[in-house]
Amino acid sequence: MTPQEMKQLAELLQTVPGIKSIELQDVQELAQLLRESPEIGSIEVKGWFGTGVVITRTTATPVAVEAPQGFHHSALPAGPGPDAREASRGAVVAALKEIKSPMVGTFYKSPEPGAEPYVKPGSRITPGQTVCIIEAMKIMNEIEAEIAGVIREISVDDAQPVEFGQVLFRVDPHG
């Protein structure tokens, strides 16, 4: 990104509702972060009620963090027999990309009770497609896919509470 493009982006971001101002230095730092960190897929600046910066990862590698934040990490067994089958399943799961909850709230698979779910296992998704709703503080937040592929697993039941970073869906990007 050229310095002129960064300046234009900074000026544009100042007009986003909910963002009071963003300096050229902030845009340069975000662009530098993207260049230096290949594991970061995108950085999105949002306004209005979603005010803030959303950073997405390009890797499906589980991240181990403290339990209060809701991330889970499981080790794969390596022995023969049933454990080997479980390890094989784990290798398949590792090849899948995860869609994680961006907030704490209640997971809903459809836009309203009794309606068809946004996605089911086997559904093909595209970036920007709504995959579920998470209700937080009486606000219904549509969660959009950031990757294309086929839904292989839905990890949460309808109307179940979710934590920040909890896996909601596993997607086969090659499906």
Question: Per DSSP, what are the bridge partners of residue 69?
Answer: none
Q: What angle do CA 53, 18, 131 make, to 5 degrees?
A: 55
What is the spatial distance between Cα 175 and Cα 151, in angstroms, rounded to a whole number? 9
pLDDT in tens, 44-99: 665 544 545 656 555 444 333 333 333 333 333 344 455 544 544 444 455 899 99
pLDDT in tens, 122-168: 999 999 999 999 999 889 999 999 999 999 999 999 999 999 999 99
Q: pLDDT value at position 83?
A: 53
Q: pLDDT value at position 142?
A: 93
| Helix 3-13 with 24-36: angle, nearest 10 deg | 120
Q: pLDDT value at position 148?
A: 92
Strand extents, DSSP E, the chain? 40-46, 52-57, 97-100, 105-108, 124-125, 130-136, 139-144, 149-154, 161-162, 167-172
Q: What 3-state class would DSSP assign to 98?
A: strand
Structure-model confidence comparison of residues 124 and 7, the more confident one: 124
12: phi then psi, degrees, rounded to nearest 5: -65, -40
CB-based contact 9:45 (threshold 8 Å): no
What is the spatial distance between Cα 33 and Cα 41, in angstroms, rounded to a whole number? 11
Domain boundary assignment for the chain:
1-59
By mean pLDDT, which of 2-6, 100-104, 119-123 is the weakest? 2-6
